[in-house]
């Protein structure tokens, strides 16, 4: 890593801390077919069909995109109807995907995305929010899902398929913060 890259990463952390301390959110509300978010989503390990226009599971959702001087990130909160859920946390908000490409400190981005989720959907369900981590697809750290753990999520088990389940309980949610509004523009890209 070059000295310039280290300064840039340090500055990104400082800016994220300032935003957190001052209550400023860096997430911008988006939609399930946003070309910018899709580009980042295509690099996420759980993406089933890279390149397809939509990248969000069916049902209620909140798509967020962040762009800073140092990078970009995206987040998806899904809120599936409990009767259609097969895992043990039916009814919970679900972080379906989160990818940070240098936009700031991941745990800060996660806290802000959770704040945006409750601003959008209202108080969290009693199951809170759940996310799943595939140990075989992430870089090995001391703890799998470390950035989520630093944001207040706690390990609560595994899925039948072996994914690590992390949960944020309602009492641990941050105060609601509305995301920035989606930039004006066409909903879908023109197809030639």
Structure tokens, 130: 């759940």
- What is the rounded average pLDDT for all residues in the chain? 78
Residue 89: phi and psi, rounded to 5, are: -115, 40
Q: Is 189 among the domain residues?
A: no
pLDDT of res. 114: 97
Q: Is 130 among the domain residues?
A: yes
Q: Is 186 among the domain residues?
A: no
Q: What CATH number has the domain bearing residue 64?
A: 3.40.630.30
Given the structure tokens 């690099």, which residue do they identify? Answer: 43
Which tens digit of pLDDT belongs to each residue from 10-42?
544 554 554 555 468 899 988 877 777 777 766
Output 45 or 130, whichever has higher pLDDT. Answer: 130
Which H/E stretch holds residue 98?
strand 93-101
Which tens digit of pLDDT belongs to each residue from 51-85?
666 766 778 899 999 988 998 899 999 887 667 76
pLDDT of res. 139: 60
pLDDT of res. 3: 38
Which H/E stretch holds residue 67?
strand 60-67
Which tens digit of pLDDT belongs to each residue from 88-119?
677 889 999 898 988 999 999 999 999 999 99
Q: Residue 87, exposed/middle/buried by CB under 10 A (0-12, 13-18, 19+)? A: middle
Residue 54: phi and psi, rounded to 5, are: -105, 145
Counted domains in the chain: 1
- Tell me how far apart the alpha carbons of residues 17 and 107 are, in angstroms, rounded to a whole number: 11
Picking from 33, 102, 30, the residue whose alpha carbon sits closest to that of residue 73 is: 102
| Model confidence band, residue 174 (pLDDT cutoffs 50, 70, 90) | very high
Q: Is 14 among the domain residues?
A: yes
Cα Rg of the chain, angstroms: 16
What residues make up the domain containing 163?
Answer: 3-172
Q: Is 46 among the domain residues?
A: yes
Q: Is 185 among the domain residues?
A: no
Q: Is 54 among the domain residues?
A: yes
pLDDT of res. 133: 86
pLDDT of res. 91: 82
């Amino acid at each position: 890593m070059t000295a310039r890259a280290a300064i840039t990463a340090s500055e990104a952390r400082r800016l994220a801390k300032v935003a957190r301390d001052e209550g400023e959110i860096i997430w911008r509300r988006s939609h399930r077919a946003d070309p910018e978010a899709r580009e980042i989503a295509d690099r996420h390990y759980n993406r089933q069909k890279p390149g397809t226009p939509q990248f969000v599971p069916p049902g209620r959702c909140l798509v967020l995109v962040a762009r800073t001087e140092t990078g970009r990130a995206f987040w998806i909160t899904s809120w599936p109807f409990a009767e259609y859920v097969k895992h043990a946390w039916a009814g919970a908000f679900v972080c379906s995907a989160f990818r940070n490409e240098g936009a700031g400190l991941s745990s800060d981005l996660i806290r802000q995305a959770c704040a945006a989720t409750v601003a959008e959907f209202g108080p969290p369900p009693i199951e809170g929010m759940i996310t799943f981590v595939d140990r075989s697809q992430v870089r090995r750290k001391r703890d799998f899902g470390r950035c989520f753990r630093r944001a207040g999520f706690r390990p609560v088990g595994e899925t039948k398929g072996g994914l690590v389940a992390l949960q944020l309980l309602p009492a641990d949610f941050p105060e609601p913060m509305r995301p920035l509004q989606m930039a004006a523009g066409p909903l879908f890209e023109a197809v030639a």
